Structure 1
């Protein structure tokens, strides 16, 4: 039996979110949800996440798990918000799941942002091991370790569909960057090869889409695509296809990554997402903060560090 897949595109961060359901039992998982964030006002809102809740309600679904493919660096996860809202609505409490190597990412970034261990303890309900299997209603599912973009990155194989996160993009986009701490172009290449080894008719549902101007619109007038088949990726992926050698991919990826700027919401996203979308600890005055690093010229640093107070 094939799962029902409900893709929902969030255009501000170009993120694909997925609700995947067993058509027989109506059990469902939510993959890579998004909270809305306005960096100009530092305001977090829930319109996008609330639309996912409406989709769940309209289709009479029971969410059993809320899944992350990795600690995203470009958007804030809605995992904890969705979990709490579903409980408020009288639904069973779904586990929030992610790959077990999230602890490595937490250990990397918590000291950088001054996040205490107590804020990270048990924030994820389920840490998946490589190749771990679970059920979605009557359907089988499997967790695939797909590192490279980040070390904790996983994909979810449900039926003949892989929800790939940022391990591969649509053929005319190519691949994700591999220059984050713990990232690796070699590992990203090997993860792509893992995906390309699946049968040609399998669908690869991507985590983002950044369509080039040349992409034709579909019948609905949309350029954004949630998936392509393994066969299409083997033939047409512009960064990693059947004929791409490892050294070719590494050269391309390293050259591209060297000129990329930081994601717009990098620091806000990482601090939020390693907490599984929980609010930061409040100060005594009741305020909550996400830390943003500042940069100064060498001249200014030299003057300021030598200044007497």
Structure 2
């Protein structure tokens, strides 16, 4: 493993197809957690920490020091476990700066009151485009990758990039761009920027939907994406947008979206308890 090549360990969440990551600087045993999942049963509206506890157990077994808890965007398909993991490891939580635009958009959809703030204060740090940081001795920086959402970002850590819902594995294609604030043209341009990274860069996806029932996979190089991803072959922007709009029109709404986003635009925090001590989710009827 080269000086700037992190060890990356993925944790697969079967119910949502999500992949969570621990990114490790093996020279210092410092790490970051990326896109952790809080268990949620949408039928019973119950939450749990089994996925996050598995990550925590791994970190403790390896005697790692957590420097960052990172999200790539406010997720529509799962609840973020960032707040829960912060209680275990006391590391700062961060996301891209444009999350404030997503907060403003969804504040209106949920009709949240004046006590819901849309300035990103729910996180410890908001990354600017191009901002540099470190995980141990590993150099890292942020690429803004809008399209799937207004606020999507890519974390580039040494020779690894965490692209979440921008690209999937080459046998599955690219992310949808039909949520509020999404834009297929912006997605196409973001993919182009990601694929301008060196061909040997390892791209780690945020989901794997296991086409054909194969085993979960979540890493392909830039070169492999260029060569094998069917959504990238013989494409220009107009053809890509037409393809994405046609496919997106056939996709159902994620079954956790209306629950997940009102948690995730709070940085992963639960809604405040009401006078009876109970917390409640708010679901807009006939909006989608």
Determine the structure 2 residue equivalent to 1:283: 274
Q: Equivalents in 2 of 1:118, 1:95: separation in Å?
A: 23
How far off is 1:210 after superposition?
Answer: 1.1
Structure 2 matches for 1:164-243, cutoff 5 A?
A: 164-213=163-212, 217=214, 223-241=215-233, 243=234
Map 1:149-168 → 2, pairs under 5 A: 149-168=148-167
Q: Which moved more, 1:139-148 or 1:120-129?
A: 120-129
Partner of 1:82: 85
Q: Which string of whole-angstrom CA distances, capped at 9 and with x for unpartnered residues, describes residues 117-157 of structure 1?
A: 54446211110000100011111001010010001000100
Match of 1:302 in 2: none
Q: Is the 8 A contact 1:119 1:281 kept in 2?
A: no
Alignment of 1:58-73 (within 5 A): 58-73=61-76
Give the secondary-structure state (helix, strand or coil) at the position aligned to 2:232. Answer: coil
1:107 shift after superposition: 0.4
The residue aligned with 2:102 is 105
| One of 16, 20, 32 as aligned partner of 1:17 | 20
Query: CA 1:8/1:117 → structure 2, altered by over 3 Å: closer, same or farther?
Result: farther
Tell me, what secondary structure is at the counterpart of 2:193?
A: helix
CA contact (8 A) 1:172 1:211 kept: no
Aligned length: 282
Shift in Å, 1:116? 3.7
Contact 1:192 1:240 in 2 (8 A): no
TM-score by length of 1: 0.88
Aligned twin of 2:31: 28
Contact map agreement 1:204 1:227 (CA 8 A) in 2: yes
Structure number, greater radius of gyration: 1
Structure 2 unaligned blocks of 5 or more:
none
1:190-222 deviation digits (Å, cap 9, x = unpaired): 111111111111110001011211x7x5xxxxx
Q: Indicate which of 236, 251, 258 corresponds to 2:242.
A: 251
Give the drift of 1:180.
1.1
In structure 2, relative to structure 1, the CA distance for the partners of 1:25 and 1:71 (3 Å cut) is same
Question: How far did residue 40 of structure 1 move?
Answer: 1.5
TM-score (norm 2): 0.95
Shift, 1:115, TM fit: 2.9
SS at match of 2:108: helix
